[in-house]
Each structure stands twice: as structure tokens, then as C-alpha cells.
Amino acid sequence: MRTLLLFLGVAGMAAAGEYAVLASGFRLHVDRHELDGARIKLYTGGGSIEMQANEVCRFEAENGAPPPVAVSPSSGERRLTLSPEQLADAAAQKYGLPPGLVRSVIKAESRFQADAVSPKGAVGLMQLMPSTARGLGADPHDPAQNVDAGTRYLRELLEKYNGALWHALAAYNAGPGVVEKYQGVPPYPETLDYVRRVEREWKSGGPGGSPAAGQKP
């Protein structure tokens, strides 16, 4: 049985800025950061990533330059947003998953439509059920929270099934209870099609590269 190998992605390097060293050990290159109480905003490229301040251990200057001073944003500042692809990559880096895998799940779930709502009530880019989102402490209608929570949930499922990709994807699609009932991927055409589509999309060479290994039912 082959299993998915989890890894920390490597952030793309920019010409200037600083490094945010996360509690997970990952070093994320950012242009600058702003501290607002218990929250911190990291600016990278054309957007921003917001997280709890205690998730960042420290900042390291690039090329020996002193890091920027953390300041609170003014009330009139325009909020910057990331594209769904950028949100996927940021969440993948945060939770140690291949960016291409997270993007492939988003494509299968919502085709990158942030306002997507399924007939069953699943919401957003990663199609979180409201109850699942509540359990993860996220607002499913907020794209950044949706992708962050969905990626965290996917990581938890991969850990639950010891890295077995198909088991984790089947649980994401049909629920862990169904996977436990069938001791593997359930014989549901929708779920079988789902896990195959995600794996096929990832293996096709999307961002993050092809998987080191895959799990078959």
C-alpha cells in the first residue's frame, strides 16, 4: 500500500522583504507585516495572508536589513485579497501539504468559484458544510477562512489515515464515518469519481508537482 508523503512547500523568493518563521517551522517570504492585536497580516506579492499572531514565532530580515516595524492598519486602508490559487498555496504551505493537491481539491469541489453552494448546502471554494466549518472555527463564506479550514481538515484526514490519499479524499467527500464503515473507499460512484479526478488532476503536473505516491482502494 502506497501512501502520500506530507511535506512543507517552499515559498517563492521575492526581491526584497523579510521571512516570517511560523510555529510549524516553515519560513514564509513576505514583503512586510502588520500587527493588529492578536492577529497579524502578512503581505506577499499582490495580496495578504491573515493569521493569529501566536502562529508566527519571529521575523528574520532578508540580506541583513532590519525588518519592517509592525504597525496597525488605518481604518481607511484598502483590504487586499488573494486569488483562490494564492489562497490554496498559502494554506498548503501553512499545513505542510503539496500546493498542487490543495488546488486539485478546490477545482474538484468548486472549480475555483468562491460563491459556490451545493444542493446539500456545502459552501465556498472547498465546499465546507456549515457544521464542519463551525467545528473548525471558520466562516465558510469567507474565501480565506474557507480554504484555510478546508486544508486543515484535509491534513487532519491524511494524518487520520496515515497518509492514505484515497481514504482521506473519500472521507472529505463522503465523510469519515462512511470510510470507516467500508474500511476504505466506499463503492459510491460519486466518491470513486471524485478521488480519481483529484488524483488525476494532481498527477497531471499542477502547481506543487506530482505526488510522491498515491493510495488505491
Give the residue numbers annotated as catalytic, written as ranges: 109
* SS3 category, 167: helix
Mark out the alpha helices in the chain (DSSP H runs): 84-95, 99-110, 130-135, 143-160, 165-174, 176-182, 189-203
The identity of residue 90, as a single letter, is A
Cα–Cα dist 186/178, whole Å: 7
Cα–Cα dist 138/123, whole Å: 12
∠ Cα 84 126 192 (to 5°): 125
Cα–Cα dist 50/135, whole Å: 20
